[in-house]
Chain A
């Protein structure tokens, strides 16, 4: 994979080098010094716009009670750095319990989505059976359906199941998404037919084929599914807001909105709370970003 992508790169660089003397500036593949500086300057500008608000909030969460939050120009370095806000915010609303609730729902969603999408994706991509195209059609058609359209009815269903105001109710409808099954099915179609047939000849059971042939081949796509599912569940707001009616059951996003609107608290506490919600997801994403960008590009090229 890397070799294949690097080779044309190197060739292009060589070509650029040979043409440099001839025609000089204007070659899009040859980085001129001025062009490179301009590029980095623009990158840094966007970087500042993106990261600025986040850093500022991070800094606010460490500012002591005596510090002026409204000074201008805003100071990014806390004068009296303190962790105290992270304790105080938990006295107003139980943020860490909320974070735990979000973690439970997100982890559960990742597990069920990955496992069930691999099983379903494999069946839909590699097995022949009557009714397969009806199943595919059903899955595809529901992707046109925004979740907000069905939210009132889903709430009736979840309440009818006796799961209203519970984390199970938050988790259940998102336990497996059609989109993820289709993504894994796309990855499964790339597995050579011969490999799967060879496994059958060798007497591998369906389960063994999934475990030893399918899984190693779809791991990249499965990581994209896992990342998207975790982020989606961790960040979700509308659905938990509808399901959960008691503040003690809230997930982190609902809890933060609750903190903001009901206690009109110190901005330092809001900042601390938002960091509890933001930092874990940023860390998880930063660690997994390599798989993410690779998987997204593979999916886009193949899909």
Chain B
């Protein structure tokens, strides 16, 4: 049924379309273009071919940023794929007071990463409660300088990322668990499967899709890490800048009047390609699964 003039949908969807074109699609195209130039603010850009990308290969700072992000991904993905699933199983059942627990477990997600990082930076402080607890238990003689050591700082950032992310992925799993048939659990139980067996053979296959989605989401967001490392290291990227993430590097390289926009753009393009990998990964695994099913 024709119920509107031809331009009505364009008026309605227009703002959204224009915004996406101006603030997502064009900047992306522009970033790709800039990455092949030597653009700097207040100066006309000259094309330089692949020079910015070649520079990446020999840039130590970029190497460290890449390592930081890859460590982040490799550690965060298993933790944030498994722990939220267990948490979702814990809050899944409708028992008295469960709404309070669910809501509370989501608080760290709602909190700003800046606030969370400030709170934890105090816990990790050399006089902080973590060091005091370790000394009290007799595990260390003198405080560990968590926030001024390359690997400890990374570990702290990962810990607070996991703490903050638990509730978010818990909700994703809750939705998925709702679709796992109770009948399967009961059938497995009839066959004498204990809780652990049922978790492995019923729950896990039932939420397999959600687990792949979550691990891809975690991988992408870990690759984009910025705030946690920025606040914990007080904006420095840790001792020697070893803990700088790719996004921190983009900001450092590209901002200010002396910013090297072309180089920042090249790093941005590489970041984009890196965030595509996990998504391609699950697309590939889904395809494999589909081809296996008929066999």
Question: A interface vs B, CB < 8 Å?
Answer: 8-9, 12, 26-29, 31, 36, 39-40, 42-43, 46-47, 49-51, 53-54, 56-57, 70, 72-74, 116-117, 119-120, 122-124, 127, 129, 132, 135, 138-139, 141-142, 144-146, 148-157, 172-173, 175-176, 178, 181, 196-197, 200, 206, 231, 234-235, 237-238, 241-242, 252-253, 256-257, 260-261, 267, 270, 274, 277-278, 281-282, 285-286, 289, 293, 296-297, 300-301
Contact = CB atoms under 8 A, between A and B. Distances in A.
Q: Which has the most chain B C-beta neighbours within 10 Å: A43, A56, A74, A286? A: A43
B103 interface: yes
Main secondary structure of the interface of A (DSSP, over half): helix
Main secondary structure of the interface of B (DSSP, over half): helix
B132 interface: yes
B17 interface: yes
Interface string B189-230: 100001100100000000000000000000010001011001
6 contacts: A42-B90, A50-B105, A51-B107, A153-B265, A231-B110, A237-B227
A278 B164 CA distance: 14
A125 B19 CA distance: 19
Nearest to B179: A301
Nearest to B34: A153
Contact of A148 (B3, B94, B224): B224
Contact of A150 (B27, B127, B224): B27
Contacts of A260: 118, 121, 231, 234
Interface of B: 1, 3-4, 6, 8-10, 12-17, 19-28, 30-31, 34, 87, 90-91, 93-95, 98-99, 101-108, 110-115, 118-123, 127, 129, 132-133, 136, 163, 166-167, 171-172, 174-176, 178-179, 182, 185-186, 189, 194-195, 198, 220, 224, 226-227, 230-231, 234-235, 247, 250-251, 254-255, 261, 264-265, 268-269, 271-272, 275-276, 279
A120 B11 CA distance: 9
B19 A176 contact: yes
Nearest to B102: A293
